[in-house]
Structure formats: C-alpha cells, structure tokens
C-alpha cells in the first residue's frame, strides 16, 4: 500500500506542488493510501453559493443540475465549483481505513466530513435525488478522507440530513460565539438563511439583555422566519448590495453608533461594503459567505476610511460541530423549522 501525505498532496495531478483544495485536478481513484479513509457516501451538502450558481446555470432544470455536478467531478476528481471555488461537505459510512491512519474512526462509523468537497477525492456512480431547497444531493458514490481531514460522528438524537445541513455551516455560529460579547450590537446580514438563523440564535444568547441583535434579509419570507422564532431585536428588509441604504438604516436603528460586530451570511456577490459600512470604527466584520471578495473588502474599507477588523470565514474552529448541534438541541423552534426544509 502506498504512503500518503497527511495533507493529501499525493493526490494532486495539476498543478504539481499545490495542496488538494487549490488544485485543478486531483486523483479520485478509490484505492486508498496507507493513511486515508474510504467513505461510502450517501449525501452531499453543496455549498450555498456553489449550488446557487449550478442551479442558475442549469436554469433550475434538475436533469441539467445533475449533469453539471457530474461534469465538475469527472473533470476535477472532486466537487469544486469552477466559478465559486467552493464545495460543501458529505455524510457517509466509513468503509475502509488505511493501516497508517492515526485516529479513532472505525469501519461502520457514520460521519459527516468537516472539510470541503473542493479538496475531497470523490466518485459519483449515480445521483439518486436532488433537494434544491437544502442544496443536498443523495448519491451512490465513494470519497476519501485524508489524515488531516476533520469529521464529526453523526449524533443519534438528530435526523441525519438535519445534522448534515447544520454541520455544513457550523463555523458561522461557532465564530459568532467567539466574537460576540455582552452588550454588543450585532448585525447579521442574510439572517433569514440557515447560517444566518444559527448566528442570530448564538448572538442573542451572547449579547444578553443589554445588547442588540439586528437581522437583515432581502426576503420578507426569510425575515418572517427569524421574527417568528424571536431571534433578533430588530428586523430589516433590505438589499445587501445597496451599501448606503444599509448604512443609513443601521445608523437610524443604533442612534448613530453602528454595530460592534457584523456577520455576513449572504450567498451573493457585492455585499462587502454594506457589511463594512454597518460596522463602527474599531468594529469587527465576519465574512462567512463564500461569495466574499477579499479585494473588494480590503480596498473598499480603505476607500471609505473604515478602520475595522475583517475576518474571512474559516469554516473550522475548535468545537464548531458541537456548538452547531447544541443549538438544535436548545432551540426547538429552529430545529423544527430546519427539519421542515430538510
């Protein structure tokens, strides 16, 4: 059995010398190296920005969506959207473990991978079903987990697809828990979506009675969901690509103080400046969205003279899976809402 690099560089075909995520093509043969794990895959949870692009390109036609997904994997050996650069995650059952793999996994364990599909060697034998409302795709297929790849054992007390849906965005509420303090004013842009709702819940819990949580979403339907669950103090229907409008509204709602923390969960482009202008000087902007442009954010903040700390949404932080799953256990309304859409 061949020896593998812990980071999976032995799988890279083009260009040589890079890690699997930025690589254009990786080796997706399912003969495992000595430190890899073979997974029998059941469901893919495609990143929201990626699925939105695939769906738009396919003009909402399910057959075309399937074709586009198969085409991406057949060309790249992984599910890395060539437009958005993002992937998603998967759930499946551990089928085989290399003898040099260092970890506690056992054959038969049901797991969710917490590393992106944009770096995961993947083979799709058949697409069984697509659920556009959740960006989930049921398949027959296999995948490889590298030695460095993180994962979560699927809990027994929560439905599998619900756990997958939440674990895919687990970094957002976990980073919210890190950033938000008692008394803060927190703005969540895209608050009516899945990651936004989780962030709202965590922010509301952290700010206490002296803090304020503001939910922004373009969709009245999405705002209605957040309002029904009581996850924020203020609800604002607004277009996140209209930076000046967002700034003016947040200025009114905060009596000119603006936000201590702004969390961007929107899956569309050109929302960087709305996030920056909603934050006060010395505030923090957390970009969880995969549609974020570093260039637009960095040069945009400079251009308007905003001294804010900007954090690019690392999908992983310590304990993020446990935090996301615990939110579902604590908030029955949110659990029920997400379950309906899964």
pLDDT tens-digit map of 217-257: 999 999 999 999 999 999 999 999 999 999 999 999 999 99
% of the chain beyond a pLDDT of 70: 99
pLDDT tens profile 128-144:
999 998 899 999 999 99
> 115 in a domain, yes or no?
yes
**How many Å apart are CA 304 and CA 258, to the nearest integer?**
15
**Position 327 pLDDT exceeds 80:** yes
Entry pTM: 0.84
**Position 187 pLDDT exceeds 80:** yes
Terminal-residue alpha carbon distance, the chain: 40
What is the model's pLDDT at position 315? Answer: 77
What phi and psi, each to the nearest 5 degrees, are found at residue 135?
60, 25
DSSP-derived 3-state class of residue 315: coil
Mean pLDDT value of segment 189-213: 96
Same structural domain for residues 200 and 131? no
Task: Tell me which of 128, 158, 188 is where a domain ends.
Answer: 158
What is the model's pLDDT at position 278? Answer: 98
Mean pLDDT value of segment 280-308: 94
Q: If you average pLDDT over every residue of the chain, what do you get?
A: 95
**Position 314 pLDDT exceeds 80:** no
**How many Å apart are CA 77 and CA 332, to the nearest integer?**
39
Identify the CATH number of the domain in which residue 328 sits. 3.40.50.720
* CA 213 distance to own-chain centroid: 21
User: Smallest Cα–Cα separation from 280: which of 197, 184, 203?
Assistant: 184
**Position 164 pLDDT exceeds 90:** no
Task: Tell me which of 135, 158, 181 is where a domain ends.
Answer: 158
**How many Å apart are CA 46 and CA 48, to the nearest integer?**
6
% of the chain beyond a pLDDT of 90: 89
What is the model's pLDDT at position 342? Answer: 60
Residue 270 Rama label (left phi>0; alpha psi -120 to 50; beta): left
Same structural domain for residues 125 and 260? no
Task: Tell me which of 124, 158, 192 is where a domain ends.
Answer: 158
Cβ neighbours for 180, distance < 8 A, ≥ 6 positions apart: 186, 202, 203, 206, 207, 211, 261
Same structural domain for residues 17 and 150? yes
What is the model's pLDDT at position 299? Answer: 96
> 101 in a domain, yes or no?
yes
Same structural domain for residues 27 and 124? yes
The strand ranges marked E within the chain are: 12-14, 25-26, 37-46, 88-97, 110-113, 122-131, 136-145, 151-153, 185-189, 212-217, 234-237, 259-264, 279-287, 309-312
What is the model's pLDDT at position 341? Answer: 66
Specify the number of domains making up the chain. Answer: 2
Same structural domain for residues 146 and 215? no
> 166 in a domain, yes or no?
no
What is the model's pLDDT at position 48? Answer: 86
Mean pLDDT value of segment 304-315: 91
What is the model's pLDDT at position 280? Answer: 98
User: Smallest Cα–Cα separation from 12: which of 168, 144, 150?
Assistant: 144
Instruction: Give the helix ranges, DSSP H, for 58-122.
Output: 62-76
Domain extent for 313: 171-340
What is the model's pLDDT at position 333? Answer: 93
> 103 in a domain, yes or no?
yes
């Amino acid at each position: 059995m061949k020896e593998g690099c812990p980071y999976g560089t032995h799988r890279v075909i083009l260009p040589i010398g890079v890690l699997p995520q930025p690589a254009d093509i990786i080796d997706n043969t399912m003969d495992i190296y000595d430190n890899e794990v073979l997974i029998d895959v059941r469901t893919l949870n495609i990143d929201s920005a990626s699925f939105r692009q695939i769906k738009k390109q396919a003009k909402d036609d399910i057959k075309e969506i399937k074709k586009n997904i198969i085409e991406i994997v057949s060309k790249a050996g992984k599910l890395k959207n060539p437009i958005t650069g993002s992937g998603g995650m998967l759930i499946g059952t551990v089928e085989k473990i290399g003898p040099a793999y260092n970890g506690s996994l056992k054959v038969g364990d049901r797991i969710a991978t917490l590393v992106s599909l944009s770096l995961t060697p993947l083979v799709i034998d058949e697409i069984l079903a697509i659920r556009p409302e959740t960006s989930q795709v049921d398949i027959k297929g296999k995948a490889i987990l590298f030695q460095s790849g993180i994962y979560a054992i699927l809990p027994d007390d929560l439905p599998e697809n619900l756990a997958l849906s939440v674990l895919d965005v687990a970094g957002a509420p976990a980073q919210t828990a890190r950033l938000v303090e008692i008394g803060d004013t927190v703005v969540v842009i895209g608050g009516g979506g899945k990651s936004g709702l989780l962030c709202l819940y965590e922010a509301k819990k952290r700010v206490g009675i002296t803090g304020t949580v503001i939910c922004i979403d373009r969709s009245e339907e999405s705002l209605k969901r957040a309002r029904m669950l009581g996850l924020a103090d203020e609800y604002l229907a607004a277009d996140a690509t209209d930076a000046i409008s967002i700034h003016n509204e947040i200025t009114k709602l905060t009596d000119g103080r603006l936000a201590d923390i702004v969390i961007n969960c929107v899956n569309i482009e050109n929302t960087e400046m709305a996030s920056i202008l909603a934050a006060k000087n010395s505030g923090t902007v957390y970009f969880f969205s995969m549609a974020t442009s570093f260039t637009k954010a960095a040069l945009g903040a400079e251009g308007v003279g905003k001294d804010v700390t900007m954090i690019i949404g690392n999908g992983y932080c310590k304990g993020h899976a446990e935090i996301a799953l615990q939110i579902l256990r604590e908030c029955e309304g949110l659990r029920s809402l997400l379950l309906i859409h899964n």
